[in-house]
Amino acid sequence: PSMKKTFFLSFLFLCLSLCSLALGEGLRIHFLNVQHGDCAIVECDGETLVIDGGKAEDSALIHAYLTKTLGVDRVEHIIATHPHKDHIGGLPAVLAACPVDNVYSPIAEYDSKPFERLRKNLDTRDIALKVPEQGYCFSLGEAVVELFMPVRVHENTNNMSIITRIRYRDTAFLFMGDAKLAAEEDLLVSGRELRADLIKIGHHGREGSTSDALLDAVRPQLAVISEEALGAGGKDQKVLEKLRDRGISCYVTAEHGHIIVDSNGSQLRVETEHGAANAK
């Protein structure tokens, strides 16, 4: 009996290990803990996409994570969702870390020092800053990345955010940048496919974004909020309440540290820097 039990436990462990290995293949997203800011690194089949780069003071963290933690030697794509300093300030560190092929932005000109610094770094490396057309798509390994561009000029720069949807086999991910309600409304009437298993909550989970209508259209299982502390920077608990009411598991960089999400094309697995992946 003890031998049978030992064999069964060994077999169970082998099955769990194989399942874990399978989930570790395919697409992986690293949501870096850049406090009040956004930075996500997406890996699929040996190709890399960086969505935003946090603030200038996050440069050392981002550079080390790319080169030492991940060993990335080339970034195929960078998406600068919009030109605010907490999203583009650290992108020059990505350019310094390794060769970069493509950089996308919703606008080509913006009057700010972080944007000027990014443009200067791009010019030095002879990399064009591309403003894509609506619905522009590119591949990242087997994954397909679609860019939802702003459909009109908004006075609030947050609403000019590029919204990104990544589809990998039967799973999908939606990155909302800092989009607020006006941009969400434009997205909802666009007729585009919004369904996603995970949503990167817009504007750091603050009130004035993440409408009921958006969540009803996306119907995510998981949500990620990139923020320095719950309740800080004007964060409103209403967004967390909306997520809880819908049974959406939410991970916050302030509490969980770096958040890593794996997809094998049908299932998602979450790991966090600070131990057990207990969602809010």
CA 81/CA 84 separation, integer angstroms:
9
164-181 CB burial, b ≥16 within 10 A, e <16:
bbbbbeebbbbbbbbbbb
Closest CA relative to residue 118, chosen from 76, 160, 87, 155: 87
Within 10 Å of residue 10's Cβ, how many Cβ atoms? 10
CA 175/CA 87 separation, integer angstroms:
13
137-189 pLDDT, tens digit per residue, is 999 999 999 999 998 889 999 999 999 999 999 999 999 999 999 999 999 99
Within 10 Å of residue 266's Cβ, how many Cβ atoms? 13
Confidence band (pLDDT; 50, 70, 90) for 207? confident
| Mean per-residue pLDDT, 62-66 | 98
Specify the pLDDT at position 175: 98
191-206 pLDDT, tens digit per residue, is 999 999 999 999 999 8
The pTM (predicted TM-score) of the whole model is 0.89
What is the average pLDDT value for the chain, to the nearest integer? Answer: 89
Closest CA relative to residue 267, chosen from 216, 194, 200, 198: 198
| Mean per-residue pLDDT, 97-112 | 97
Specify the pLDDT at position 280: 66
